[in-house]
Amino acid sequence: MYTATTGGQEDIALLTINSDNMDSCEDPESFETPDEQTEDLETLTFDDLLSFAFQVARGMEFLSSKNCIHRDLAARNVLVTNGRQVKIGDFGLARDIDNDSNYVVRGNVRLPVKWMAPESIFQGMYTMKSDVWAYGILLWEIFSLGVTPYPGIKVDHMFYSMIERGFKMECPYYANETVYGMMRKCWALDPANRPSFSKLVSFLCDLLVDREENLYQNTISRTSSDYQNASTIVDMSALTKASEEKKTQATNDYCQTCATEEKRAETCDGDTVADEKELLKPSDAE
């Protein structure tokens, strides 16, 4: 199991499934490159968490297609490999329900109550829809970065009473309203009102595609904005240069005009002095 670090959070173990290679038993460490090791230490993003949720849904959709229920779907039973691929593990409680869609557990067995659907807790019934409930709890774990479900609440008669009345956990810190709405649908008291894993896969796929398209549009807009800003800067530079050239030319013209006036003044002064000297000369008659 690998750990991922998130800003402001302690190291957490997240889980992963690759439904295209369910039977792979290769040791990921033997194929891990330095770049992949660096990737595992990078900060997780919302899209990473959404991808984990999508991959788990794909894996559970595969199990459903094989008429198999997991019965212990939780973050502790999901592994994240290099490349942030998800693998579902720990099938110790899994059952083939091909001939019995309402598998009933009998006897006194230690069970993961906080991940169990109401019909599993109170009636001992496990179906694909009870796995959907557990998937909703897993989503809460993912988007809270590994916090234990129902934090601060002990599993006692008060807890059972809350679940029976339809109590639902609040939205985890890193989930948005869309993802939280999907969790709440998974926690419907009536199993028939819970979505199938196929619908969950489709829903999450649409979310990922929308975010990819928004990212592309934002990139295009940012590039266009940068180009326009660059053009504006060029235009401003050209205007500034033209303005400076005009100022320089005006200064030169002013200096040239002043020089011409001074030269004219000197010429006039010379002529005046010459005239005065001429007047002061004694005439020949005198």
Q: How far apart are CA 54 and CA 70, in angstroms?
A: 17
Helices (H) and strands (E) in the chain, counts: 7, 9
DSSP β-bridge partners for residue 88: 78
Contact 103, 126 (CB under 8 A): yes
Closest CA to 187 of 204, 206, 165, 205: 165
Contact 141, 149 (CB under 8 A): yes
* Catalytic one of 72, 98, 100, 253: 72
DSSP annotation of 155 reads: S
Contact 2, 13 (CB under 8 A): yes
Backbone phi, psi, residue 126, to 5°: -125, 130
Q: Give the residue from 122, 200, 202 showing the smallest Cα distance to 164.
A: 122
Bridge partners for 3 per DSSP: 13
Assigned token pair, 46: 């919302």
Known active-site residue 72: yes
Q: Would you please indicate which residues are annotated as catalytic (active-site) residues?
A: 72
